[in-house]
Each structure stands twice: as structure tokens, then as C-alpha cells.
């Protein structure tokens, strides 16, 4: 095997996941590692790149079903799915930045109650309501 081709255990280690996760991704049609004549899977550069794309999508909050939907979609549908996911990511980034600012302030805030502090009150007022639609099953 060339250096860029690995067995499932080594590929899993490189990706920081369990081997059964790679097999599951293959079972659900997201990965198609080539097979050696012996039947063993070979994780080549292309397969590893696809696995990393799945990891990026999962870290962005996509379920495996959504990743599969994205991979199978026609271009126009794919662009629509991507636009919706990017809007969701932008909301999450804003939420995280607000939470970070709030936590950063709280470290030095001398007020015992949020409503006593203008900065705490201002940050809390910027929080948007939670959305039930963001809690999608994976
Ligand atoms: Zn404060």
C-alpha cells in the first residue's frame, strides 16, 4: 500500500475517531473506501478527505442525514441547503461571541445581580430566544 493508503484502524486514529464510526459512515453511504483484492478496505487520500468533510459538517451541527442529503442533492438544492446552514452557523457564531463577552465580563463584574449592572443587562438583552427548530435529531 502507498503511504497515503491505510487500514481502518490507522485511518480512524488519524481522524481521531473510532473505527466503527468509519464503518458506520460507510454503512450509511457517506464513504466508499476502495477494497483490496483481499476484501480489506483501503483508506486512501480521497476517502480520508471525505471523512474530514463529514467531521467538519458534524462540527457545524449537521446530522449524518443532513450530510447525506447534502451529498446527494442536485446543485440548486445543495446551494439552498448550504445557504440555510450558513445562516444557522452565523447565528451560532453570534451566540458564542455574546456568551464569550458575557463570561469575560462576569469575571470582573462587581455587581451581585445582573439588573444592577448596565453591561450585564446590555449583554443579556441581546440574547435571542432559543429556536426549537435548531434541536434536530441526528
Ligand atoms: Zn456586570
pLDDT tens digits for range 114-134: 999 999 999 999 988 887 655
Does residue 61 sit in the same domain as residue 93? no
126 CA to middle of ligand 1, Å?
A: 14
pLDDT tens digits for range 28-71: 999 999 999 998 899 999 999 999 999 999 998 899 999 999 98
* Cell numbers that stand for 47 in this block: 476517502
Does residue 49 sit in the same domain as residue 13? yes
60 CA to middle of ligand 1, Å?
A: 31
Sign of CA dihedral 53, 136, 91, 75: positive
Domain extent, residue 54, equals 8-70
Does residue 18 sit in the same domain as residue 55? yes
136 CA to middle of ligand 1, Å?
A: 34
CATH of the domain at 43: 1.10.1660.10
Dist. CA 19–CA 13, nearest whole Å: 8
How many domains are there within the chain?
A: 2
67 CA to middle of ligand 1, Å?
A: 41
Does residue 19 sit in the same domain as residue 56? yes
Q: Is residue 75 part of a domain?
A: no
Q: Is residue 98 part of a domain?
A: yes
Q: What is the pLDDT of residue 61?
A: 86
107 CA to middle of ligand 1, Å?
A: 9
94 CA to middle of ligand 1, Å?
A: 19
pLDDT score of 95 more than 70: yes
- 93, exposed or middle or buried, with CB in 10 Å at 0-12, 13-18, 19+? exposed
Is this structure's pTM higher than 0.85? no
128 CA to middle of ligand 1, Å?
A: 19
Amino acid at each position: 500500500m502507498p503511504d497515503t493508503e491505510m487500514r481502518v484502524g490507522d485511518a480512524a486514529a488519524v481522524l481521531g475517531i473510532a473505527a466503527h464510526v468509519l464503518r458506520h459512515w460507510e454503512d450509511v453511504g457517506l464513504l466508499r473506501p476502495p477494497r483490496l483484492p483481499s476484501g480489506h478496505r483501503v483508506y486512501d487520500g480521497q476517502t480520508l478527505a471525505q471523512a474530514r468533510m463529514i467531521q467538519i459538517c458534524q462540527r457545524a451541527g449537521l446530522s449524518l442525514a443532513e450530510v447525506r442529503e447534502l451529498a446527494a442533492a442536485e446543485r440548486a438544492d445543495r446551494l439552498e441547503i448550504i445557504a440555510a446552514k450558513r445562516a444557522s452557523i452565523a447565528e451560532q457564531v453570534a451566540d458564542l461571541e455574546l456568551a464569550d463577552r458575557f463570561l469575560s465580563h462576569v469575571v470582573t463584574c462587581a455587581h451581585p445581580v445582573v439588573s444592577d449592572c448596565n453591561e450585564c443587562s446590555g449583554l443579556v438583552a441581546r440574547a435571542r430566544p432559543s429556536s426549537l427548530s435548531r434541536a434536530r435529531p441526528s
